[in-house]
Amino acid sequence: MNMLAHRHLPPTPQDAAIARVSGQVLSRFAATRGPLKLRVTDAEQMEPIELPAGAVALLMEVLEAMAAGRGVTIIPENAELSTVQAAEVLNVSRPFLIKLLEDGSIPHRKVGKHRRVRMEDVMSYKAAIDNEREAVLDQLAADAQDQDMGYGSK
Q: What is the pLDDT of residues 85-104, one digit of tens each?
A: 999 999 999 999 999 999 99
User: Which amino acid, residue 139?
Assistant: Q
Tell me the three state secondary structure of residue 82. coil
- The pTM assigned to this predicted structure is 0.64
What integer pLDDT is reported at residue 49 of this predicted model? 95
pLDDT in tens, 49-58: 999 988 998 9
Q: In the chain, what is the greatest distance between 2 CA atoms, to the nearest angstrom?
A: 67
CATH number for domain 80-146, candidates 3.30.70, 1.20.58, 1.10.3470, 1.10.1660: 1.10.1660
Q: Which pLDDT value is given to residue 73?
A: 85
The residue that leads in pLDDT, 17 or 77, is: 17
Q: Say if residue 112's pLDDT is above 90.
A: yes
* 3-state SS class at 153: coil
- Domain ranges for the chain: 6-74, 80-146
pLDDT in tens, 31-67: 777 899 999 999 999 999 999 988 998 999 999 999 9
Instruction: Give the torsion through C-alpha atoms of 3, 118, 71, 61, to 10 deg.
Output: 110
